[in-house]
Amino acid sequence: MQGKCISPGYASLVNIFPTHIRRDGHTVIIDGVIAAVWTLILGIPLFVLFLLLVYYELFLHGVQASFSVFHILGQVVPLHLVTLLLWSSIFWTAAFSIRRFMDKKRQLNNTREWLQTIHAQAYTDALTGIFNRRGFDELFDSGLEQAKIQNQPYMLLLADVNQFKRYNDTHGHLAGDQALQQIAQILMDAVRTGDAVARYGGDEFAVLCPGLERKDAGAIVERIHASCKEKTQLTLSIGTAVYPLDGDYSTLLLQKADDRMYRWKNHKAGE
């Protein structure tokens, strides 16, 4: 009989789930065993200690009884066997519940961390460590809406690496990847802490600067060019657009910044 074939993609999808989610049944058995051990080493001795205290109190009040550990273990405990079983079951249930609660809390924390990691990976460019296109789109839309509500300017900067294909073909893909990482770091160093840098495309980058106007763009662009000249052989063509001066919508601002970026690129190519 021919067996089922599981695609590698499906297997990879299953493997991304945390181990603790897929092995919960195994954990329940372990918690039950641990609760039973705690009942044996702590629950039953506590029950015997309770009986000792009760009979000791009776002895202090003049109740005549043979008061000894052997008496308790040999005669009293068997008489209270039902009580002992009830006590043991209650103790086991309490110990098991505490173990399950702690395990579920640990699972919840692990799952939360895992989801945060997955969420971060979904919005992060794997090569450069900055936001990817998806992260940029969400940040741009939400940031622009916030700027409209607060009636503040919002600057978009697009940057394209000049002659990157030639650089890649000449120096190799590894050097090209390192160059993109270097450009990403240059952009992050050139902007403020609250600004966002993203890899917009293959060799295109975007910067979002809340609260900045057109007059502020020159200083940022100069810092970027100076840093590129100092740290890399590559240069950037840069275009900017500012809300509300250049438009009210993200698509319009992107088009304006893109047009200016390519005008810069064509101008430099003609020199």
State how far the Cα of 33 lies from the Cα of 238, in Å rounded to an integer: 65
Which pair of tokens denotes residue 103?
């395990």
Which pair of tokens denotes residue 268?
């430099």
CB atoms within 10 A of CB 172: 11
State how far the Cα of 217 lies from the Cα of 208, in Å rounded to an integer: 11
State how far the Cα of 115 lies from the Cα of 123, in Å rounded to an integer: 13
206, 222, 226, 200: which is closest to 154 by C-alpha?
Answer: 206
Which pair of tokens denotes residue 205?
């980058």
State how far the Cα of 237 lies from the Cα of 116, in Å rounded to an integer: 35
Which residue blocks in the chain are alpha helix, DSSP H? Answer: 8-15, 19-22, 24-38, 44-60, 69-71, 77-79, 81-122, 133-150, 164-171, 173-190, 214-231, 250-270
| Known catalytic residue at 203 | yes
Task: State the catalytic residue, choosing from 103, 189, 203, 248.
Answer: 203
Q: Is the peptide bond before 8 cis (omega within 30 degrees of 0)?
A: no
CB atoms within 10 A of CB 214: 13
Catalytically active residues, by annotation: 203
